A = this chain, B = another copy of it.
Amino acid sequence: MKTSLLQKARAQYQPKLPKGLQGAVKVKEGAATQSVGDQDEIKKLFPNTYGMPIIEFVPGEEYAAREMNVGIILSGGQAPGGHNVICGIFDAVKRQNANNKVYGFLMGPGGLVDHDYIELTSDYVDKYRNTGGFDMIGSGRTKLEKEEQFEKGLEIIRELGIKAVVIIGGDDSNTNACVLAEYYAAKNYGIQVIGCPKTIDGDLKNAQIETSFGFDTATKVYAELIGNIERDANSARKYWHFVKLMGRSASHIALECALQTQPNICLVSEEIEKEDMTLNQIVEQIATAVAQRAEAGNNFGVVLVPEGLIEFIPAIGRLIDELNDLLAAHGSDYKDLDKDAQHAYILAHLSKENADTFATLPEDVARQLSLDRDPHGNVQVSLIETEKLLSNMVGAKLDEWKKEGKYKGSFASQHHFFGYEGRCAAPSNFDADYCYALGVSAANLIANGKTGYMAIVQNLSAPAEDWKAGGVPITMMMNMERRNGEMKPVIRKALVELDGAPFKKFAEKRDEWARETCFVYPGPIQYWGPSEVCDRETRTLALENEAKK
């Protein structure tokens, strides 16, 4: 394996640890907890892991070494810092007892079920310190939710003498971690399960979790690129750049990037849904900003578009829902029709409102909505090139306005989609430190016999030594939600809060950003420079923590 010069130098970085985790660790327990909603149901579903106290780790006395083999699983999409969580667990587990073994289950939760694993050795782990990616043990999207999977996993857990499994994942994976913890507890198997909050999307966040890991690094990579593109737009002065950003349903990534780079426009799906905006209204809003800038001679700009936008436009959301049902019910008689006949078929079978919406869509988007379904029968929204859709529609709108004499500028566009560029970037100092601390916390939760907990680190706007590490019962973050037609206990997904500090800051500034050219160019992530450049947290985290004071 040839490593880059940066990677070699970066391997030497020793992540900063909070005071509470630097030496011997003592558990400080808080009061009993409640779930955020549906307390009775959650309590009934999780009798063994409900109501446990929040835990904080504080400096303590050295205690006798504890024997604990640990198995680790990476679940779902990549996020920068995952390797450092593993390094933190590894170091803390070996520190408990050098004979302890740490196993990595390969390619996600499937590795546990299929008994596919490696033992992590010191040499192997050292190659991955402070690196991006999940290639150390791979990741996967197998859902751990059935008893037969739990029992199959137990076989290899027993065989390897594993005391605890750490699942590093997003909201769904941590929900499943909790179900697994409860199952093993109910069966008295003596196997602990601990979760870790991972996702670049930033939607695993609540009163206990200030941010999920990876959000910091990924948004900094995207902000670097958006800043570079803004500078290009401002130099060439002839293009509008439409930039779509990963982030699934939530607009946290787009909003954070906007706060970092001050583009002319940033769409926020959650606001569009709340305001019940139509696609046409969104297009008019962008076109208005383009026309306004054109009057000042500025025929250029940058627009950020969150990946999940389309489903949040209420009229299109309703259309997609009906289309999913329609195509599920009429799949095969429909499939054999030609393009035009399919289009006619859909128009004929939709309700009046949805047929009207469908008829207004550009041809290729209508086609995409009527064609591609994922394995669950849902439209693959991420395949819709929203950035092109919007710029085409804005262009058409401006042509209209030009004919009416309302617009005199020129409009040319460029398109970008950023996602894969940031998911596996080498972690920023923030994520490198945060993840390592999460890993050490997870190991200490295990050493103290905890199960059904998620490792957490709080007070993240302070210097790392003042961070507070600990654990929170996963049940505390749960409520009941409808999933595939059934009520299920799940961790509540955090969308952008329109009365939250980050959105309010953005809303206060955006008119000026649209009109003027207020671009900010953050540049690439730095590892060795001045602390204010290298160690700064995201604007989202800073504003949210500021508002809590």
Contact = CB atoms under 8 A, between A and B. Distances in A.
A549 interface: no
A231 B2 CA distance: 13
Interface in A200-239: 221, 224-225, 227-229, 231-232, 234-237
Contact of A2 (B228, B262, B423, B528): B262
A523 B107 contact: no
A184 interface: no
A489 interface: no
Contacts of A422: 228
Contacts of A107: 237
A530 B532 CA distance: 19
Contact of A536 (B5, B227, B425, B426): B5
A424 interface: yes
A229 B523 contact: no
A4 B232 contact: no
A22 to B, nearest CB: 26
Contacts of A414: 420
Contacts of A407: none
A397 interface: no
Contact of A236 (B131, B139, B522): B139
A265 B426 CA distance: 23
A232 B200 CA distance: 13
B420 A241 contact: yes
Interface string A513-526: 00000101111111
Contacts of A78: 231-232, 235-236
A100 interface: no
A5 B533 contact: yes
Interface stretch (A6-14, A53-61, A447-455): A6-14
A343 interface: no
A105 interface: no
Contacts of A134: 235-236
A38 interface: no
B533 A235 contact: no
A135 interface: yes
Interface string A125-167: 0000001111100110000000000000000000000000000
A3 interface: yes
Contact of A526 (B227, B526, B530): B526
A231 B136 CA distance: 10
Interface string A396-409: 00000000000000
Contact of A133 (B7, B9, B232, B241): B232
A115 interface: no
Contacts of A225: 225, 421
Given A221-B228, A231-B133, A424-B228, A527 B529 contact: yes
Contact of A528 (B3, B241, B420, B526): B526
13 contacts: A2-B518, A4-B227, A4-B260, A5-B536, A6-B522, A77-B236, A132-B228, A133-B232, A138-B235, A228-B424, A425-B524, A426-B521, A528-B529
